[in-house]
Amino acid sequence: MKTKVLGRSSGPARNLCPKGNCRQVIVRVTTYQAQLNGKRGPTKVPRDGHIVAFGMDLGQPSKMSRKSLARDYGGKATAQLAILNKQRKGRLKLLRKSNDVEVERFLNEQPRYALKQPLRVNRGDIVGLTTPTWLPTLGKKDDSIWRASQNPDDPDQCGRTRFLKRESRPHRKLGSTRRYRCGYRNRILYWAYFVAKRDGDGGGGGGNRATVIGEQPSLPSGGVKP
């Protein structure tokens, strides 16, 4: 089976928090890439199948910055994959998710995480990324937009530190729907590995564990064995 990479840019993207005293990270949020290099839906699933792994390009905030971020946002840098589906009135439903993975020992690297139990997806689903704390995966990329699970009364509050600390919350409850009202003009440095469904394949559920399998952004054509 051939593995397709969803959400990976063809050109380099600069992490906005490469090293040093930096707080340009995403916090307490579920995100998805709505546009990448001018193309819409880069993490939209093309057909029924499974997500077998995901990867990220992580920055490296200084030790002082990490302590400050952990204090303000509830712990160490943590990631989780989210499978979303668009509903009526601009809402998204959380269908499935992986387990949380702590990523701090891989800062300034590009770790990949193989799901021991792949996440089942259907055509049109969206692969998103959640952090219940914070993640240094914010990147600079022209003509790109990502959306966040934030629903302020006033859209001008999007991105303001006070709003993020008080109101920003990740989309975590399976089966629930949320509005993703805030949009930002850059990108989140994550991607997912998709394998199309074969006849007779079973489905993977939620609560999947992940194992680090390397630091390169590509996989062999045979995919990843769960």
When pLDDT is averaged across residues 205-211 and rounded to a whole number, the result is: 53
What are the pLDDT digits (tens) for 124-142?
999 999 999 999 999 987 7
- 225 belongs to a structural domain: no
Residue 190: strand, helix, or coil = strand
- Give the pLDDT confidence score for residue 224 in this predicted structure: 33
The mean of the pLDDT values for the chain is: 85
- 65 belongs to a structural domain: yes
φ and ψ of 121, to 5 deg? -135, 155
- 223 belongs to a structural domain: no
- 224 belongs to a structural domain: no
C-alpha span between 34 and 183 (Å, rounded): 9
Question: Taking 60 as the threshold, does the pLDDT of residue 172 lie above it?
Answer: yes
48 band by pLDDT with thresholds 50, 70 and 90 = very high
- Give the pLDDT confidence score for residue 40 in this predicted structure: 93
When comparing pLDDT for 42 and 162, which is higher? 42
- 20 belongs to a structural domain: yes
- 220 belongs to a structural domain: no
Cβ within 8 Å of residue 41, ≥6 positions away? 34, 35, 126
- Give the pLDDT confidence score for residue 214 in this predicted structure: 38
**Total count of domains within the chain:** 1
- Give the pLDDT confidence score for residue 30 in this predicted structure: 97
C-alpha span between 43 and 113 (Å, rounded): 17
- 28 belongs to a structural domain: yes
CA distances from residue 10 to 5, 7, 81, 191, 205 in whole angstroms, order as listed: 11, 10, 22, 12, 31
Task: Select the highest-mean-pLDDT range: 5-14, 113-122, 164-173.
Answer: 113-122
- Give the pLDDT confidence score for residue 210 in this predicted structure: 53
Q: Kindly report the pTM of this predicted structure.
A: 0.86
Domain that holds residue 208: 3-214
- 219 belongs to a structural domain: no
